[in-house]
Amino acid sequence: MNNNVDQEVLMSDERYSWSGLGESQNLIGRKKVDWSIFMNGTHVPIDFHGAFKLANGGVHLNRGEKREITLIINGVSYSAMLVNIDRKGVFIDTLQVRYESNGELRQLIKQEFQNSFAYIQAEREKKALIGDKSYTVVPDNKAEYIEFYKTNVPFQYLLKLIKNTEQNRNIWWVNQGTTLSSERDEGILWAPLKSKNGQKLYHWETMSEVKKGDIILHYANGALRYVSEVTTPAIEAPKPASLGNNSWQDIGRLVRTEYFTLKPVIGLNDFSKDLLKLDIPQGPIDVNGNVKQGYLFRFSSDAFNIIMQAKSEVVWPNFALVNNLPDEGKSSVGLHKEEVNAINPSELINTIYNYISKRGFIYESGLIKNFYLCLKTKPFVILAGISGTGKSKLVELFAEAVGATSENGQYTLIPVRPDWNDSSDLLGYKDINGQFQAGPLTRVIEKASNNLDKPYFVCLDEMNLSRVEYYFSDFLSLMETKKKPKNEAYSERLFHDDFFVIKEDLDKFGPLRIPPNLYVIGTVNMDETTFPFSKKVLDRANTIEFSEVDFTLLPAKESYPVETLISKNQSFETEYIYLKDCLEDVEYVRIINDKLDRINKVLTNANLQVGYRVRDEICFYMIYNKSFKLLDEDDALDYAIKQKILPRIQGSSNQIFKVLIELFQIATGQNYANEDGNVADLALKYVQDNSEVKPYPRSARKMATMLGRFEDGFTSFWL
């Protein structure tokens, strides 16, 4: 610990390598990656000592003291030390994060920050040749960072690794004429290996260099019309039939890419003169500012920035903004921060909540936490309530906050039509020629199945305009067939082989199953124009009610830039299919099960008892909440009871009334069964007069309302 060389390495960049102080409540600080990060750890400048003290529950290390700490990276915990070095003759604190003895952690950091490590190592070797002993600093355009975040546990920090993807991400320009519509519809680029006379052309050879994550600008008829992100690198493939007959060879290179429409298009005259100032080797623009003949040309980040600034009104997709941030106030959905696998759920929720707030919308933070837990428990959620309370908007904003947008295909709104009467309206049908016409949900499933690391959100808007059982029952049944081969939950196949007439349809759609990265959220308005739900539907979903409206809450002004996370599916994918999957905490499961058993015995009196599916999913919800520390235990169980139990209760019998009274007693500890006067009025007065109803206030208020509806001779959960 007292090695002078180590101290020198750790302290050499104290003034310049830390930043971010005061940026957000949970951010301790941002450390620029340097040589010390790969060797020992990092010195903590004195300006950041206070932030570490807060993260450590107010504990200050005296000089000479050290404490073991935990660093969480991508959900994995690594041990390290926090040390206040006692340096001879120095009377100020010298705080350091050290992990030189943790070879696994140091190897991970080298692997994650390969660009920085290679750059620093090369520069050090150059300096050694001339006897230069100065410290190597990575230039800002190549810089990478580690962000330290506090958690709810002292001396335990969440680390985010901010990699510089610009160094590895190429920009390309493609000229498309008659092939544009075909290539766009298929989501591809294709170019032959050689010309008809056997020549290799460099603007076709460039296809071999395209890799996943690259950005492509699509030019046709005098303007840039699309931008896309490459989803798969080039492979050798036959010429697609959609490209028609021409003089090309039939074997070429094919790249799959996701197209995004530029609105408005950007004309050549908007930027050609500015591009002439740049030297782009094998670029698409000639010395006169015209577009060269050819297919795929090299482009550059500087040139891409010129394109983005050519028309300020153009809305760019998030993937194009990662390394090319627009000016503040520019009209765009949001600015992605970095790509993460599975971050601390509390941090994820904070990011989502802040994003929604900055977009000018108000939702209670508990609602966001509950919505996340519902999706994590099971990828089918119903948002129900009166019209205009922001149900559909919540789905859209939640998805946007984690990088899932309509532009990149990870968020899809499917409006339900009143004339839907079977699953073909959602999944697809065979036309008069026997060719399969994929439905909107099948198209999303196909895309999600090819990108399993990303979450895909589908909003079935006003899903009860038609009878849900008519068009959705097949999909619901398939959801219950999910298994976990290779740790990924797949359902049985969507279609049987004999459903298809054409072999190409069988090859393309036959293997499709419900993938583990698909999340379906239905919004419903409960009024006289819609249909009620059957117990089959309610048992398979968490039903979140939107009924409370508070006009005193006014949104903040929408502000840009709005920071989001590009979250991987790991943050949302359920880990449990059956109760046996989560019995590592069997004692806690037993506690929750006993509480549910008491409720179920009450429901049995009116033949409303729930089955194992509902029991299991409430247990999953509670286990996730306990693990993530999002809600108090009673608060979480309150949400679960209201969402999974109460929607099933409806009727006009005396047994229903008695069930509600007994459940109200469980929720409040108050029993009005033998009281004089109107029981419903007494229950309603109790929840209105008491600001702290315990243990389950939400459920209690709902039950009081349902008891009051018996005055009309019938009660239900729904308005």
- Residue range 255-260: mean pLDDT, rounded: 90
- Residue range 194-204: mean pLDDT, rounded: 83
- Stretch among 216-220, 250-254, 360-364, 637-641 having the lowest mean pLDDT: 360-364
pLDDT of residue 326: 34
pLDDT of residue 83: 95
592: tokens are 């929750």
HSE-CB of 362 using CA atoms within 13 angstroms: 10
Taking the C-alpha atoms of residue 541 and residue 374, their distance in angstroms, rounded to an integer, is 9
Whether the Cβ atoms of residue 268 and residue 306 lie closer than 8 Å to each other: no
Is residue 659 domain-resident? yes
Encode pLDDT of 162-176 as tens digits. Answer: 877 555 678 999 999
Beta 215-220 vs 171-175: how paired, if at all?
parallel
- Output the CA torsion sign for 291, 294, 299, 305: positive
**Three-state SS sequence of 23-74:** CCCCEEEEEECCHHHHHCEEEECHHHHHHHHHHCCCCCCCCCCEEEEEEEEC
- Residue range 372-376: mean pLDDT, rounded: 95
Residue 114 identity: Q
Q: Are residue 522 and residue 591 in the same domain, yes or no?
A: no
Q: Look at residue 417 and tell me whether its pLDDT is greater than 80.
A: yes
Is residue 566 domain-resident? no
Instruction: Classify residue 208 as exposed, middle or buried by CB count within 10 Å of its CB (0-12, 13-18, 19+).
Output: middle
HSE-CB of 467 using CA atoms within 13 angstroms: 7
Q: Are residue 591 and residue 670 in the same domain, yes or no?
A: yes
Q: Confidence band (pLDDT; 50, 70, 90) for 557?
A: low
517: tokens are 């990265």
Is residue 260 domain-resident? yes
Q: Look at residue 538 and tell me whether its pLDDT is greater than 90.
A: no
Distance from the Cα of residue 618 to its chain's centroid: 23
Q: Are residue 297 and residue 262 in the same domain, yes or no?
A: yes
Q: Are residue 38 and residue 98 in the same domain, yes or no?
A: yes
Q: Confidence band (pLDDT; 50, 70, 90) for 676?
A: low
Q: Look at residue 716 and tell me whether its pLDDT is greater than 70.
A: yes
If one compares 424 and 350, the residue with the highest pLDDT of the two is 424
Q: Are residue 630 and residue 697 in the same domain, yes or no?
A: yes
Q: Which of 207, 157, 121 is nearest to 31 (CA)?
A: 157
Q: Are residue 64 and residue 178 in the same domain, yes or no?
A: no
Encode pLDDT of 136-161 as tens digits. Answer: 888 876 788 999 999 989 999 999 88
Q: What is the mean pLDDT of the chain?
A: 84
Residue 306 host element (H or E):
helix 301-310
Q: Confidence band (pLDDT; 50, 70, 90) for 16?
A: low
Q: Are residue 514 and residue 648 in the same domain, yes or no?
A: no
**The domain boundary residue, chosen from 147, 165, 183:** 165
- Residue range 489-503: mean pLDDT, rounded: 86
Q: Look at residue 303 and tell me whether its pLDDT is greater than 80.
A: yes
End-to-end CA distance of the chain: 68
Q: Are residue 391 and residue 528 in the same domain, yes or no?
A: yes
**The domain boundary residue, chosen from 256, 291, 323:** 323
pLDDT of residue 158: 92
Q: Confidence band (pLDDT; 50, 70, 90) for 485?
A: low
Domain hosting 641: range is 580-716
CATH number at residue 411: 3.40.50.300
Sequence-distant (6+) residues with CB within 8 A of 529 are 465
C-alpha distances out from residue 53 to 28, 48, 90, 394, Å? 10, 9, 21, 36
Whether the Cβ atoms of residue 29 and residue 148 lie closer than 8 Å to each other: yes
- Residue range 619-632: mean pLDDT, rounded: 92
Q: Look at residue 448 and tell me whether its pLDDT is greater than 80.
A: yes
Q: Look at residue 547 and tell me whether its pLDDT is greater than 60.
A: yes
Q: Look at residue 706 and tell me whether its pLDDT is greater than 80.
A: yes
Helix segments in 177-270, DSSP class H: 180-186, 202-205
pLDDT of residue 138: 83
Could you tell me where the beta strands, DSSP code E, fall in 597-684? Answer: 650-651
**The domain boundary residue, chosen from 533, 549, 565:** 549
3-state secondary structure of 265: strand
Is residue 354 domain-resident? no
Q: Are residue 531 and residue 625 in the same domain, yes or no?
A: no
CATH number at residue 238: 3.10.590.10
Q: Are residue 529 and residue 639 in the same domain, yes or no?
A: no
Is residue 178 domain-resident? yes
Q: Look at residue 319 and tell me whether its pLDDT is greater than 90.
A: no
Is residue 353 domain-resident? no
pLDDT of residue 241: 81
Q: Residue 98 — φ and ψ, nearest 5°?
A: -130, 140
Taking the C-alpha atoms of residue 171 and residue 625, their distance in angstroms, rounded to an integer, is 43
- Residue range 542-554: mean pLDDT, rounded: 67
Q: Look at residue 637 and tell me whether its pLDDT is greater than 90.
A: yes
Is residue 223 domain-resident? yes
Domain count, the chain: 4
Q: Are residue 160 and residue 182 in the same domain, yes or no?
A: no
pLDDT of residue 114: 78
Taking the C-alpha atoms of residue 250 and residue 314, their distance in angstroms, rounded to an integer, is 37
Q: Look at residue 336 and tell me whether its pLDDT is greater than 70.
A: no
Q: Look at residue 455 and tell me whether its pLDDT is greater than 90.
A: yes
Taking the C-alpha atoms of residue 149 and residue 156, their distance in angstroms, rounded to an integer, is 9
pLDDT of residue 525: 84
Encode pLDDT of 84-124 as tens digits. Answer: 988 777 778 889 999 999 989 998 898 788 778 878 887 88
Residue 536 host element (H or E):
helix 535-539
- Stretch among 18-22, 614-618, 651-655 having the lowest mean pLDDT: 18-22
Q: Are residue 10 and residue 57 in the same domain, yes or no?
A: yes
Residue 662 identity: E
227: tokens are 């931008």
Q: pLDDT exceeding 70 applies to what percent of the chain?
A: 88
Is residue 73 domain-resident? yes
Distance from the Cα of residue 50 to its chain's centroid: 32
- Residue range 454-464: mean pLDDT, rounded: 93
Question: For the chain, what percentages of helix, strand and coil (3-state, to nearest 5) are there?
Answer: 40, 20, 40
608: tokens are 């409303």
